[in-house]
C-alpha cells in the first residue's frame, strides 16, 4: 500500500517549497503549482524540451539534466531553461557535399573550440560532445553520427559553450549527410519500390481487398511466420 | 534499484532462464483469443464508455473522457470574433507539429502551396519523438506488401478499411526511401541491407529502426528540413476552433497564443489536421506514454464541423509500460525489447503469453495474469506488474546487443540504478494509442470539404488494433498524401465568406438538449497537473506516488 511520503525541501527560482520524495523535477514543479507551458514535451526523456539547471543550497556548482527524468533531491535549487534559438546553417541537402570541408564551411566557428569540455559535462544524455566536435573538425562524419546519435537536442551544450558553437546543429548536419550520402545504399529497397511502381502486387492485393472475411481469416491464421531471430 | 522482496522474485526469473531459452510459448488460437479480449482488455470494462448524444457519430460508443470533450462547449464566443481581421492568409494550413504535420507541410509546399504550420508546443514536441521501435515497410525479398497487408488487417481484427491498408503497405518502401533521402539514418548492415526486426503480429522481419530512437531521428530530420526550407511555423499557438465559409467548406482556423491568450485568425483554402493522439485524457485513469499535448483537440474540432469519426471505441493499451520506478510510471518500454527476444514472465519466472502476439492480446494476457491469477509483483506504491526479462536478449543474441540496440532504455532505467542488461523490467499496460479517429479516404480527405487528416488523429487504417511500426508508417504515408491532396484542393477551391455559424449552431444544440452546462470547455489543449488547492495535497501526493498521474482539472 501507499506509504506516507517524506517531504524534501527544494527551491524553485529561489523560492522555498516542500515536495514529497520521489518526484521528478517536472512533477515537483507541478506539485508546487506550476502549470507547464514551456519546458515540457514528451515527459519521457526523448524531446529535450525540459532542459534544466540546478545546484544545491550548500554547493553552488551547476548541474544539468532533463526535468522529466531527474528525481528531486533535498536542497535542490531549480531553474528551467527555456529553449532559445541557436545558430543554425540553412542548406539544401541536395546541393551540398558530404565532406568535412562542407561541415566546416557551414559552421566555421568549429575551429574556435578550445577544448574546455563544458559541452560534455552538461549533456544530460552523457554524450561525448566535445569529442564529436573534434571529430567534426577532422571531417570524420561517421564518428559524429556514432557519438551524437542519442542527442535529444535539448540545447544545454550550446547554452554553455563559451565559443558560441552549437554542437547539436553541427551533429544533425553530419547525421543527415551520412544518411543521405555515406550510408551504403539498400538495393533490396530500391528493387521493391520499382516492383511496386510496376504494379507487381496490384492483382494479389486487389484480391485481398475483396476477399470474404472467413477466407481472409483462414489465410491469416495459416500464414507462415518467419522466426523473430 | 529494486527493493529486496522484488529481488527475490528476480532470482526466480533468473532460475527459469535456461529452461525458457528452449521453450517456445505457443501462439493463441482464434478460439483462445476471442474470449480473452472481452474479459480482460480495458476497452470492454463495463461503464467506461458511453454513447454520443449529438454530432455526426450520435449513438456511437466512445470512452467517457472522450465523449465529454466531443460534446464540449466552444472556447470562443462567435459574436465577439471579427472575421474581417485576417492575420494569416495561406493556401494550406497544417495543424500539428509532429511527424504527420511535418510531412504534410513539406509535401504541400513541394506541390506549390503557400503554407503555414501551427502547433501547440514546440515543433516536434509530439508523440512522434517518443517512437522507439521503428517503422514497418515490406522491402525484403522474403516479404511483400501482400503479406504486410495480411498482417495489418489480421492485427486489426479484419475491420480496417481495405483501401487505406493498400495505400499504407504500397507506399511504405518509398516512405523509408524518402526519409533516407532527407538524411534519416536507418540501422543497416555494411552491405546496405536494412537491419530489420520482427514485431507483435508481424509475420516477417519488417521493422526499420534507428537504434531505439527511431521517432526522434525521423522528427529531428523533418524539423531541420522545415527550417532549411524556410517554411513558416508558429509554436505555442494551438487551434481552438475551425472556421467555415458559407458554402460549407473549411476556410481557416482560430488560434490562441498559449502564453498571452491573444487570438489570431488564419484563412486557408484547405486545412490538414495532424494533431495526434489522446493519451493525456488518462482514460480509465491509466497512465500514458503520450506527450504532454496529446489531448484529442483535432478530433473535437473536426467533430464540431461535422467530420465523421470511426472506431472511437477502441484504444490501444501498450502491454509494457514501466510499472517501476514510480518516476517513469506508464512510460514506454518499447516493444523492441520483446522483438529482440525478451520474454514476459510472472512472479515465479514462468511465461504466460507468447511475447509477440498483437498488442491488445498481450495487454489482456498481462491483466489476466495479475488480476485473475494473482501472479504479478506489487511495488511499494501498490502498483502491480510483471517481469519483462530483458537480460534474455544478450543470452540469445550475444553480449552487447542490449546496449547497442536499446540505448534509450538502458539510459532511462540506468538513471534509477536499474541495469536492464542484468535485471528484468517491471511492466504493466499503459494508455498508448488511439486506434480510430477522423474518417478519411486514400487522399486523407475527411467528410468535410477542404478538411484533411493525417497521422494518429485519423482512423480506419488500423481498424480496431494497430500493429507496431504501422503508426509511424501511417503518419508519413498519409502526411505525404494529404500534403499533396490539400495543395491540389487549394488550387481548385473557390473560397467564399467566412463564418462561425457552425459554432453558434453547436452551442444552440447543446443548450436545447440541456447539456451545455454540464459539459466542459473543449478542446482541452493541455492537461492540468498543477496542484493549487490546499485540500488537494494528500490526494495528489498519493496519486502521484501510486498511479503516477493526477485527475484532469
Ligand atoms: C512513446 C511512444 C512510442 C511509440 N513507438 C512507436 C513505434 O515504435 N512505431 C510506430 O509506428 N509508432 C509508435 N508510436 C506511435 C506513433 O509514434 C504516433 O502514433 C505518431 O507519431 C503520431 O504522429 P502524429 O504526427 O499523428 O502525432 P504527434 O506526433 O503526436 O503530433 C501531433 C502534434 O499536434 C500538436 N497539437 C495537438 N493539439 C493541437 C492543437 N489544438 N493545435 C495545434 N497543434 C496541436 C501536438 O502538439 C503535436 O505537435 C509511439 C507512440 C508513443 C507515444
Ligand atoms: S519533456 Fe521531453 S525530454 Fe523531458
Q: With a 6 A CB cut-off, is B277 part of the ligand 1 pocket? A: yes
Question: How many whole angstroms separate alpha carbon B400 and alpha carbon B410?
Answer: 12
- Write out chain A residues lying below 8 Å of B180, CB-based: 179-180, 183, 186
In this structure, the answer to whether residues B409 and B370 fall within a common structural domain is yes
**Are B418 and B443 in the same domain?**
no
> Do residue A216 and residue B332 have CB atoms under 8 angstroms apart?
no
Q: How far apart are the first and last CA of chain A?
A: 41
Tell me, yes or no, whether B374 and B453 share the same domain: no
CA angle B27, B33, B38 (to 5 degrees): 150
For chain A, which residues make up each domain, given as ranges? 7-80, 93-182
Find the distance separating the first CA and the last CA of chain B, reported in whole Å. 34
Q: Verify whether the Cβ–Cβ distance B220 to A153 is below 8 Å.
A: yes
Residue B254 and residue B238 in one domain: yes
- Ligand 1: nearest atom to the Cα of B474: 11
Nearest to A125 among B191, B327, B411 (CB): B411
The predicted-structure confidence for B319-354, as pLDDT tens digits, reads as follows 999 999 989 999 999 999 999 999 999 999 999 999
Which residue of B198, B259, B530 is in closest CB contact with A34? B530
- Per-residue pLDDT, averaged over A77-84, amounts to 81
Domain end marker among B498, B517, B533: B498
Confidence of residue B537 (pLDDT cuts 50, 70, 90): very low
Predicted confidence band of residue B534 (pLDDT cuts 50, 70, 90): very low
Q: Are residues B231 and B101 in the same domain?
A: yes
pLDDT tier, A131 (very low <50, low <70, confident <90, very high otherwise) = very high
Residue B450 DSSP SS3: coil
CA dihedral in degrees (B469, B472, B478, B484; nearest 10)?
Answer: -130
* Residues B333 and B242 both lie in one domain: no
Mean of per-residue pLDDT scores for chain B: 94
CA distance B404 to B336: 12
* pLDDT the model gives residue A79: 86
Please compute the mean of the pLDDT values over residues B459-480 and round it to a whole number. 97
Residue A4's pLDDT is 60
Radius of gyration of chain B (CA): 23
Ligand 1 touching residue B121 (CB < 6 A)? yes
Indicate which CATH number applies to the domain containing B483. 3.50.50.60
Q: What range does the domain containing B326 cover?
A: 4-40+320-430
Decide if B318 is catalytic.
yes
Are both B159 and B278 inside the same structural domain? yes
CB atoms within 10 A of CB A142: 13
Residue ending a domain, among B450, B466, B498, is B498
Domain A7-80 annotated CATH 3.10.20.740? yes
The pLDDT value given to residue B532: 57
- Residue among B145, B204, B217 minimizing CB distance to A201: B145
Selected residue with higher pLDDT from B270 and B538:
B270
Closest Cα in chain A, distance from residue B287 (Å): 12
Least confident of A113-127, B266-280, B369-383: B369-383
Dig out the grid coordinates for B304 from the structure: 464540431
**Number of independent structural domains in chain B:** 2
For the CA of B128, the closest atom of ligand 1 is 21
Q: Mean pLDDT throughout B236-246?
A: 97
Angle between helices B162-181 and B470-492 (to 10 degrees): 90
Size of interface A-B (CB pairs under 8 A): 257
Q: Of B430, B456, B483, at which residue does a domain stop? A: B430
Q: Verify that B297 and B339 share a domain, yes or no.
A: no
To which residue does cell 529561489 refer?
A14
Q: Are residues B363 and B405 in the same domain?
A: yes
Strands B115-118, B88-95: parallel, antiparallel or unpaired by DSSP? parallel
Contact between B407 and A150 under an 8 Å Cβ cutoff? The reply is yes
Of the listed ligands, the closest to the CA of B127 is 1
- B253 CB-near residues (< 8 Å, 6+ apart): B93, B95, B118, B239, B241, B242, B243, B265, B266, B268, B271
Q: How confident is the model at residue A84 (pLDDT cuts 50, 70, 90)?
A: confident
Check if A6 contacts B (Cβ < 8 Å). no
CA distance A26 to B279: 18
Same domain, B105 and B209: yes
Q: Which residues contact A12 (CB under 8 A, 6 or more apart)?
A: A29, A32, A34, A78
pTM of the model: 0.96
B421 and B465 co-located in one domain: no
Amino acid at each position: 500500500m501507499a506509504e506516507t511520503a517524506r517531504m524534501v525541501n527544494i527551491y524553485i527560482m529561489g523560492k522555498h517549497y516542500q515536495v514529497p520524495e520521489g518526484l521528478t523535477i517536472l512533477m515537483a514543479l507541478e506539485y508546487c503549482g506550476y502549470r507547464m507551458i514551456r519546458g515540457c514535451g514528451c515527459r519521457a526523456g526523448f524531446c529535450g524540451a525540459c532542459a534544466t539547471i540546478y545546484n544545491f543550497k550548500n554547493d553552488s556548482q551547476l548541474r544539468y539534466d532533463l526535468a522529466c527524468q531527474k528525481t528531486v533531491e533535498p536542497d535542490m535549487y531549480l531553474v528551467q531553461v527555456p529553449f532559445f534559438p541557436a545558430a543554425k546553417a540553412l542548406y539544401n541537402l541536395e546541393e551540398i557535399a558530404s565532406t568535412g570541408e562542407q561541415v566546416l564551411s557551414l559552421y566555421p566557428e568549429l575551429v574556435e573550440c578550445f577544448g574546455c569540455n563544458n559541452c560534455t559535462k552538461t549533456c544530460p544524455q552523457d554524450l561525448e560532445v566535445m569529442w564529436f566536435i573534434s571529430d567534426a573538425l577532422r571531417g570524420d562524419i561517421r564518428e559524429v553520427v556514432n557519438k551524437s546519435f542519442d542527442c535529444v537536442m535539448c540545447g544545454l551544450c550550446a547554452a554553455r559553450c563559451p565559443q558560441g558553437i552549437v554542437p547539436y546543429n553541427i551533429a544533425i548536419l553530419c547525421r543527415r549527410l551520412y544518411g543521405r550520402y555515406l550510408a551504403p545504399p539498400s538495393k533490396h529497397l530500391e528493387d521493391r519500390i520499382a516492383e511496386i511502381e510496376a504494379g507487381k502486387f496490384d492483382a494479389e492485393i486487389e484480391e485481398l481487398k475483396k476477399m470474404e472475411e472467413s477466407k481472409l481469416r483462414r489465410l491469416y491464421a495459416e500464414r507462415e511466420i518467419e522466426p523473430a531471430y | 534499484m529494486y527493493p529486496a522482496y522484488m529481488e527475490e522474485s528476480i532470482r526466480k526469473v533468473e532460475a527459469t532462464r535456461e529452461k525458457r531459452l528452449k521453450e517456445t510459448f505457443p501462439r493463441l488460437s482464434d478460439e483462445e483469443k476471442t474470449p480473452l479480449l472481452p474479459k480482460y482488455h480495458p476497452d470492454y470494462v463495463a461503464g467506461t464508455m458511453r454513447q454520443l448524444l449529438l454530432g455526426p457519430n450520435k449513438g456511437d460508443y466512445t470512452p467517457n473522457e472522450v465523449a465529454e470533450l466531443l460534446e464540449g462547449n466552444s472556447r470562443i464566443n462567435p459574436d465577439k470574433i471579427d472575421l474581417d481581421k485576417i492575420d494569416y492568409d495561406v493556401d494550406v494550413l497544417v495543424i500539428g507539429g509532429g511527424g504527420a504535420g511535418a510531412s504534410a507541410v513539406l509535401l504541400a509546399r513541394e506541390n506549390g502551396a503557400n503554407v503555414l504550420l501551427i502547433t501547440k508546443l514546440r515543433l516536434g514536441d509530439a508523440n512522434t519523438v517518443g517512437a522507439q521501435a521503428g517503422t514497418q515497410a515490406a522491402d525484403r525479398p522474403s516479404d511483400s506488401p501482400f503479406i504486410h497487408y495480411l498482417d495489418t488487417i489480421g492485427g486489426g481484427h479484419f475491420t480496417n478499411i481495405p483501401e487505406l491498408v493498400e495505400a499504407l503497405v504500397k507506399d511504405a518502401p518509398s516512405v523509408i526511401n524518402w526519409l533516407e533521402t532527407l538524411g534519416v539514418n536507418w540501422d543497416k548492415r555494411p552491405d546496405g541491407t536494412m537491419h530489420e526486426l520482427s514485431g507483435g503480429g508481424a509475420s516477417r522481419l519488417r521493422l526499420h529502426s534507428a537504434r531505439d530512437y527511431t521517432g526522434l531521428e525521423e522528427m529531428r530530420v523533418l524539423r531541420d528540413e522545415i527550417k532549411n526550407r524556410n517554411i513558416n511555423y508558429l509554436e505555442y499557438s494551438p487551434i481552438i476552433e475551425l472556421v467555415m465559409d458559407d458554402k460549407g467548406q473549411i476556410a481557416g482556423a482560430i488560434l490562441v497564443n498559449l502564453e498571452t491568450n491573444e487570438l489570431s485568425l488564419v484563412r486557408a483554402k484547405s486545412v490538414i489536421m495532424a494533431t495526434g493522439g489522446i493519451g493525456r485524457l488518462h482514460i480509465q485513469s491509466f497512465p500514458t506514454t503520450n506527450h504532454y499535448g496529446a489531448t484529442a483537440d483535432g478530433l473535437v474540432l473536426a467533430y464540431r464541423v461535422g467530420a465523421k469519426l470511426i472506431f472511437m471505441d477502441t484504444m490501444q493499451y501498450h502491454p509494457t509500460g514501466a510499472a517501476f520506478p514510480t518516476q517513469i510510471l506508464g512510460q514506454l518500454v518499447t516493444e523492441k525489447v520483446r522483438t529482440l527476444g525478451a520474454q514476459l514472465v510472472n512472479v515465479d519466472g514462468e511465461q504466460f503469453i507468447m511475447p509477440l502476439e498483437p498488442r491488445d492480446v498481450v495487454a489482456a494476457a498481462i491483466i489476466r495474469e495479475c488480476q485473475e491469477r494473482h501472479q504479478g509483483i506489487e511495488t511499494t506504491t501498490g502498483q502491480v506488474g510483471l517481469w519483462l526479462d530483458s537480460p534474455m536478449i544478450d543470452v540469445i543474441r550475444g553480449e552487447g546487443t542490449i546496449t547497442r540496440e536499446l540505448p534509450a532504455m538502458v539510459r532511462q532505467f540506468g538513471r534509477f540504478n536499474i541495469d536492464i542488461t542484468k535485471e528484468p523490467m517491471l511492466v504493466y499496460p499503459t494508455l498508448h494509442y488511439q486506434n480510430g479517429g477522423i474518417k478519411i479516404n486514400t487522399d486523407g480527405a475527411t467528410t468535410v470539404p477542404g478538411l484533411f487528416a493525417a497521422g494518429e488523429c485519423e482512423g480506419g487504417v488500423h481498424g480496431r488494433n494497430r500493429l507496431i511500426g504501422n503508426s509511424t508508417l501511417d503518419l508519413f504515408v498519409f502526411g505525404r498524401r494529404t500534403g499533396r491532396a490539400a495543395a491540389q484542393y487549394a488550387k481548385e477551391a473557390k473560397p467564399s465568406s467566412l463564418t462561425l455559424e457552425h459554432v453558434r449552431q453547436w452551442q444552440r444544440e447543446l443548450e436545447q438538449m440541456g447539456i451545455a452546462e454540464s459539459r466542459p470547455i473543449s478542446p482541452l489543449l493541455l492537461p492540468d497537473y498543477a496542484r493549487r488547492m490546499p485540500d488537494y495535497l494528500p490526494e495528489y501526493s498519493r496519486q502521484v506516488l501510486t498511479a503516477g498521474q493526477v485527475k484532469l482539472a
